[in-house]
Structure 1
Amino acid sequence: ASGVLTLIIVLLSIATEARAQVEEELCDIETKSPCSIEEHEECRSQNPSDKIGVCKCIYGYHRAFNGASCLPMEVASNETAGTSSNGTKETSTSTAKSHLEFSLEGPSAVQLPQDSVKIRVKFPNADAPRGNSYSYLWELLQGTGLAFASSYKRPVLELSQLKEGNLLFRVTVSNSTHSGQQRYSLAVEAAKVPNKPPRAIIRPESPVHGVEGTRLTLDAEGSVDDDKIVAYKWTQDKGPSIPLGAMNTPILTLDNMVAGTYVFR
């Protein structure tokens, strides 16, 4: 029984370590791509013979979490080193980060052919970001393949090449002391198709032969429209005057017909 328990613990540890490595961005040792000098990143190999490395922050910068931007290390870091009574160094961590208040500015729905949109992070105080660097990370939770973004690490998410469907994002904003998350949903609706006129279909088809003094029924329920038929209107263009029933229904009934030629539309 203890052997089985040990095996499970080992598997969990390996899986956890694998997930941590997947979250780091891989790079080409020779070209340094996709690491960005402007974002204070460098491509660092894990072994001397490796051709593939990992994007790491340069000296003096650090990430708040995997995928976040590299920020300058502050004098007052989250960890303070001290010395215990036996002379060994020990580390004590500070309290959890305070909640960061912000909102998201952008439409909840757009309709094609509009194929681009911008979503902005907005702070309650317009001066909040000044003098205190923030990192931004937008994560797509739903809607893979429905939009394209040039960067997911900026305060403004610019989406283009939109396709019909629903998208859901989660944005994390943080610095050394504060952190917050918000979700944003966007519905991309299909383009409107130009409305076409309905096509009237009358049964029985013209010409219709009747017998004097009998009843004749004209049926237009088979008429079609690309959206929805909202009204009917019958008009007598030619023929003897006879009592007519309701002229605004799909079925027109003619009673006590007299001899002659009738034209209805």
Structure 2
Amino acid sequence: MHNKIEDIEVRLFLEAIYLKYHYDFRGYAMASIKRRLFQARDHFGCRSISMLQDMVLHEEAMLGALMSYLTVQVSELFRDPAYFRAIREKVVPHLKTYPSLKVWIAGCSTGEELYSFAILFREEGLEERTLFYATDINQDSLRKAEAGVYDLDRMRLFTENHRLSGGKTSLADYYTAAYGAATFDKSLRKHVVFSDHSLVTDAVFAETQFVSCRNVLIYFNRDLQNRAVALFADSLSRKGFLGLGAKETLRFTDHHYKFDEFARDERLYQKREAA
């Protein structure tokens, strides 16, 4: 009975967030969203999700803090280096045939994925002809992405990932270290547009040649996954590329037929000519 009441509370909470703030988490996978809401409930010292809902509805400043629980914040530079190596070796030769490029980093969180692409494109001579769109629904994450400041103790892992991805330079060339923090060079953001965008409610905003959306779809239910993949297919130009996370696949979505597997193990897909 207790679990049933909790489920009702969670659904009412998500409905309230949508009605008041227009953030729509109602199509997120229930087990995942419940776990995160319980963490938030405990963090804010609430007895129940209903009590948390009362706080969020009446104290607008609470929303920012809550978003860090509801949106995924875990990332690293060149995460899953084989993914970036495959882009470097297999996708870049195709991208080099375009006079100009648009790359969409969907669900960019605090920017690690964006800086990975900016560095890779600089190393491969593509940066000057590329415009990057870095989007997320979490404004706080977008601000952190735009600042490009990370804990210095993360740099060892980032550096190793960069090396394994086939990096052609030293990662240290791209940041300055001071006071326990690494600040990435603002020149890496020269071709970047940071923007609030929801895969749940917003439309396509540009034609792109590459979409990278990793470790976001696993938090969506089937309907929402279908909506997101349809957005990516609509955004991508003919023979454009889509990259997903290591545990994600297009196989079970309604739009799988619009794509060919380009590098199966690295979850890289190419839009079909007649998609």
Q: TM-score, normalised by structure 2?
A: 0.22
Q: Which has the higher contact order (CA 8 A, sep 6+)?
A: 2
Larger radius of gyration: 1
Between Structure 1 and Structure 2, the one with more strand by share is 1
Between Structure 1 and Structure 2, the one with more helix by share is 2
